Structure 1
């Protein structure tokens, strides 16, 4: 790296262009001897692929200086060879330091093959790197980079180094060679760096080396553990805040008793706990020792002395950190010792107030475990806890986890969940359960909301970026099924029009027929074959294949055929295909909203001209106000819809009544800070875009109702926000609409379960004049069941036309 530059340069600009051009033409590169920052030393993306020896992908950093370089708060990030506008960088946070003239090993995703583990990694990520082409970036921060071209990345001052290999468009100079399942790209031993990947990297056999200097098949020269207890105990290492006062230091001879062992996955290790403690409620008496992909040769009850580096591992951007030891050695002093008594989690133990209202990062605040729930968890990090006869409040997810509550009388739903009804009360009694038990011996239970985990569930407290603090069970209670059943809606009366909304969770034209059949069963047997259905998350004809396809005729035709095969209506459909990769969602999926309608009951009033960029307007027709296009999209060019689905508007005619329906899929909550994260209160940044989207939909609604006060207007869909949020207030508080969900009992205001909270993201709204003429029901067939076909529950609204305004004009 040039000594006069604080960052790496990725693309030629001004005078630098001549240097890079010369390198590209074959001029001899010049090593930059005065480098002051780490560099990417080696990249490998073939781990676990066919023919690979190594199980994991990896990135190795190098320190070209004579002094240790710190990495706290830095990250390694990965982008595919040709990232799109909506591609998200895969981020691996780093911590600790690279020794002088040393290396630092970051293990990434594993494939299905391979037979050799990497040396003990210094950091662990989950990036699934491509074997042949891709881009790795070293970043002095953990926020995902937003640049998607070499020129744009060159302007990002947080990017310290970049290696693009194969056909990567983001690289320094020309890319490093294309790789294979058995080759890596590496600098020379001197870490020569000319800002030209092609000149600096050569393809060859992978040679990963960690900060301890260990390569493949190597271990520490002296694997023996400490012989005597050191000066520190576990509570000293943990300290009275979320971060250890010894973070980055090596501690020796820390005593304790092994309480649990993680023998599965890529983050193996063991928990140990001090049986004596210091009687300070702020300090945890437990620690986790990370051993990488190697299962430690220990047993529960072993008395140990442990030496290792204190590492504050942050599993994701904005999450809490996990205080742990890595690069550890230990000595077993005795076996068969009693495990320290677990802390019983029951009603009243976890504080009801979730977190301090600090206005920022709470990492360095002194813990108040009797005041705040998050502080309680941090003060018990890695300690053994116990739950008895726990009600299940969220079904088993695809990753073998579910949620229970230790506050059985707080905010319960009719089916036994826990309703999220306010930002001020996120239900602090929720507890996530995972298992450390051998799945072949004790399969993880498949539970539904309303079931019970009877008896004792016990294990150490851990933390995940997915849901926050959790219990890794060493003892798992007995699964006792509840009485939750899917119940169909009532029949539609002859004078009613039934209108439904359903997020079908990325339904694409290449999905298995089983998904189509399951969705069709729900529509026919449980929704009663509604007259009109607004669908969200309809993907294009080849799903997530990113080849420019935008049409969704195959997707919709297959769904219509599946419904008819189940004995449902012979639906017709309407939709507008988006521009390629402009509506968010899975890259290449081109999700959009669509309508199904039963032509035996409903006529769609078509008006040509609607397309991806044409805005629907209320215009004066020959017989009064009408839509300029049908179907149409609301203000599709407005910045509020950037990388987000545009609302679809349709004009329907049913039972001699005009009905205008807007189906929506607002911006997701993906960018918000986690409820359990380190920033409190969390910043809900995604609200800004949703609020702007709600303003546009409210404006259209007001325009239609101003032109035709007697219009029957339904605004529905996945609004990605709660009934008490500002988004819904814009539409149904200050705005022209009414939300029938708010007429339900508090325990029924939900249609989605996230992190154990039953909450409402989907809504059906009507104009105020219709508020007294509708019936409404959430159809609970998905969110509370482990065998769900979508993570959203559909909803049905019945419009009573007997008391409608005079017949329409058409």
Structure 2
């Protein structure tokens, strides 16, 4: 007996015969001969659905050879059409299959319609093939095939047979047709047991009613061992996967949460009396998910239940699947109650595995760190402690320091779920959102206090706090959020004039609708819940517009941007991600002028003006320009441009990014000594390009080259303008400790936000950091009176963005500044008046761990001041350094400061000429 896998290529003799028949022969080709190996003969995907022939899905195998085939060690596996992961369902086969005999693998069910299958030779309710597309594999292994190729499978010695249908990514030759979901129900049937390695040729859809599941029965039956009775801890084991996966077992426990509705389709069971401070099964969890909606409806929290079911791993979640409702028995004898286990602080991967599926009491501080998927799937990322998670390279140098922060982040992150699989912008869009309202937001940085226990759950690659019942808009919530209120006004930064920077999130006045009509292209869009277009998805690739689909959505976007810029009220604002109108056949400044008109309509005629683009000779060739650009707007009542704007042209570093735009400004009542240069930037994004392996995203070498070219360009522009006061602004697509920013710091620029400990401007992947920066040359830094970030966007849920208008029945839209973009604007105060009095100013950098302590940077004016600067915490000196050329750097003793934020006094001692002075500054210690 043999189940030897075959090499999945056609024999040369077969090819030669086909060539002879095709070239020399005159008769029709003969039908293919039956295969010389075990084959997948029939696949039925509609079990239990409306119109179904049978209540359960099935896969039928057939032995077309003249000898018996050993099945032990083989399996039937299923992977969904859209997945690139290993197969999610693996059913091990047993016994020997006689020649000319069928073998029936029973699967799951979509409902109660149809007749019962003949008794399958093996069955798994977790084996749920789908009608639209999928792949079933007959494999020479009982382990999930990883990797499983996409496309046409030509040569894989682990694969004995394979069929992909419909939209499947994996198939032989070409995919077989997809069976219907509910009407004209058919199965996939192999013709004549032949296997030509082309699924579309070998399989046809059965004639209506011709669905014929056949089992081997007693001819294949071996000795069937009764299910073993085990504890939940034995099922879970001490590793990431169950040691009993694929086995049918019996276990018992107390029901701690049920999900008969909402899509989770199951309940959580925990060993009676387990949990709390004492762990009798250290390293192994005492909780498990029992899959099956019917069973979930038959039990209630607190029930003592015995379950018989198959153990499996579902994308990392260990679960138990009963074969039927009769396999879940509610015992009459009560069991000892379960005790919640407290989580108060970070938990590593092994610690989480040991608590998977158990009742949890989240105590201590939790902080919202991710609200991106709140809008869609009702998920809220929470970090243990009083601060959200920081992008590692925002607070630590790339390499081992950043990796340590990443590891700490992983141990701090939990995702609060809504105990539902609903997408509140798709299938659930007509139901009010469970967490958010048009008034009550949940911002990153808000505190989270739990009022109820949860279950520690693992789904879709995230460790989750699953509420005990699904969260609804009008129902009780297991957690309350507080703090992190929306800032009502921009930060106070002082100064005679102010400089702002703002990424306006693809402000395009050329709409998708207009572009489609003008070009005749068939553009794609993102729809609202009623199918109405909101924003452009894809339109002529990267050459098309990227913003609002039509005028109505543009008006919503524009209202929010106008509110944000007018309330920011900076004298000069650098802009990123505004339409480069010349790419759409208009004047290059057309969209910029439209935005200024809208600003003036709101603030008053003449309040704003824009800096015109250079003429064509001062710009890159049109073909090399991006569809988005940078720009400057300003308030003519307070500042005026000096000369024209300048674009860096011809630098090879900028072939994949927007070239820097420079402009000199001075106050309207100022002199040449008050002039400064602002250069707005938008470096290459992290989304594509070379990965240099440093943990700084894709295209880091490109951004480094762009920073180096920027330094040279800034020197040239400053020399031409006759000033050494230079501000570099914009979206650098680099976090504060990354290489491109270090290039600029090494060139003598100061990162004003980092020096001042300002808030971060961006949120990505549940971590916060600053991609947007304002850097100043030494002379410009001396004029800075303050800097702040107006946190109106990055920490807000995306539900409030114009692009998500009418995605849920809850109306989230308002024309105010909040979520006007995905980046926060920054604001700098600049004092252009002469200073003669003694003064001290200071900023602080955060401390991370015991080796990286906070630094205080103090500047004393006039610059010829000498003496000493002391830093005092609660009256005690925690750092001291002499003043040289008006500045000093003091490394503080981080162990003498509390974790978190605290205020210290920075005191200048004075000298023979200048009197003492002092100020205060907030220092931040992220960890000891």
TM range (shorter): 0.5 to 0.7
C-alpha distance in 2 between matches for 1:158 and 1:600? 68
**Gaps in structure 1 of 5+ consecutive residues:** 80-88, 214-225, 315-320, 352-372, 542-549, 572-597, 617-622, 637-645, 673-682, 805-810
User: Structure 1 residue 324 and structure 2 residue 324: aligned?
Assistant: no
Matched, 1:724 2:737: yes
Query: Is 1:651 paired with 2:661?
Result: yes
| SS of corresponding position for 2:288 | strand
Change beyond 3 A, Cα 1:236–1:661: same
What's the RMSD between the two structures over aligned residues?
A: 5.9
CA distance 1:95–1:203, change in 2 (3 Å): closer
Q: CA deviation at 1:259?
A: 1.0
Q: Distance in 2 between the 1:210 and 1:463 partners?
A: 39
Quote how far apart the aligned CAs of 1:257 are: 1.1
> What is the aligned partner in structure 1 of residue 271 from structure 2?
274
Deviations 1:48-86 (A, max 9, x none): 9xxx879xxx998665565256669x873636xxxxxxx
Is the CA contact 1:445–1:479 (under 8 Å) kept in the aligned structure 2? no
Question: Could you tell me how far 1:384 is from its partner in structure 2?
Answer: 0.3
Q: Pick from 109, 114, 126 the counterpart of residue 122 of structure 1.
A: 126
Matches within 5 A, 1:692-731: 692-705=701-714, 710=719, 712=726, 714=728, 716-717=730-731, 719=733, 722-725=735-738, 727-728=739-740, 731=743
- Asked whether 1:99 is paired with 2:101, we answer no
Question: Cα–Cα, structure 1 residues 95 and 626, in superposed 2: closer, same or farther, change >3 Å?
Answer: same
Residue 422 of structure 1 pairs with residue 381 of structure 2: no
When normalised by structure 1's length, the TM-score is 0.64
TM superposition shift of 1:435: 3.4
Gaps of 5+ in 2: 64-68, 95-102, 117-123, 216-224, 397-401, 423-427, 470-475, 507-534, 538-545, 628-642, 667-675, 721-725, 802-818, 835-928
Taking a change above 3 Å as real, the CA distance of residues 604 and 556 of structure 1, as seen in their structure-2 partners, is closer
User: Could you tell me whether the CA contact under 8 Å between 2:379 and 2:416 is conserved in 1?
Assistant: yes
- Superposition pairs of residues 52-63 of structure 1, within 5 angstroms: none
Q: 1:343 corresponds to which residue? A: 341
Q: 2: CA distance between counterparts of 1:654 and 1:425?
A: 44
Correspondence list, 1:459-474, <5 A: 459-465=454-460, 467-474=462-469
For the pair 1:784 / 2:795, whether they are aligned, the reply is yes
Cα shift at 1:246: 1.3
| DSSP 3-state at the match of 1:605 | coil
1:715-772 Cα shifts (integer Å, max 9, x gaps): 63262x54334x55654566776533321328x34531644x4x11522253645555
Residue 760 of structure 1 aligns with which residue? 769
Is residue 2:414 matched to residue 1:431? Answer: yes
Deviation digits for residues 560-595 of structure 1, max 9, x if unmatched?
Answer: 757754656899xxxxxxxxxxxxxxxxxxxxxxxx
Structure 1 CA distance for aligned equivalents of residues 434 and 619 of structure 2: 54
Equivalent residue, structure 1, for 2:359 = 384
Give the SS at the match of 1:334: coil
CA contact (8 A) 2:645 2:662 kept: no
1:664 and 2:683 aligned:
yes
Question: Are 1:796 and 2:856 matched, yes or no?
Answer: no
How far off is 1:696 after superposition? Answer: 3.0
**1:601 to partner: Cα distance:** 4.2
**Structure-2-length-normalised TM-score:** 0.57
Q: Which residue of structure 2 aligns with residue 593 of structure 1?
A: none
Shift of 1:94: 2.0
Instruction: Tell me the distance in 2 between the aligned counterparts of 1:154 and 1:562.
Output: 56
Q: Determine if the alignment matches structure 1 residue 398 to structure 2 residue 411.
A: no
C-alpha contact 2:664 2:678 (8 A) present in aligned 1: yes
Q: Within 5 Å, which residues of 2 pair with 1:251-330?
A: 251-252=249-250, 254-277=251-274, 279-291=280-292, 295-314=296-315, 321-328=316-323, 329-330=327-328
Larger Rg: 2
Corresponding residue for residue 240 of structure 2? 242
Q: Is the 8 A contact 1:235 1:283 kept in 2?
A: yes
Cα shift at 1:311? 0.8
The structure-2 alpha-carbon separation of the partners of 1:185 and 1:196, relative to structure 1 and needing over 3 Å to count, comes to farther
The equivalent of 1:201 in structure 2 is 203
**Larger helix fraction of residues:** 2
Cα 1:739/1:491, change in 2 over 3 Å: closer
For residues 7 and 792 of structure 1, the distance between their equivalents in structure 2, rounded to whole angstroms, comes to 50
**How many pairs are equivalent?**
654
Corresponding residue of 2:98: none
Q: Is the 8 A contact 1:308 1:327 kept in 2?
A: yes
User: Which structure is higher in RCO with an 8 Å CA cutoff and minimum separation 6?
Assistant: 1
Question: Equivalent residue for 1:220?
Answer: none
1:196 CA drift (Å)? 2.2
Q: What is the SS of the residue equivalent to 1:693?
A: helix
**Aligned equivalents of 2:664, 2:462: Cα separation in 1:** 45
Encode CA deviations 1:677-734: one digit per residue, 9 max, x unaligned: xxxxxx9787463322323323432442565564846363262x54334x55654566
8 A contact 2:285–2:356 mirrored in 1: yes
Give the secondary structure class of the aligned counterpart of 2:233: helix
1:765-802, Cα deviation, whole Å (9 max, x unpaired)? 53645555565432211333345425833232548595
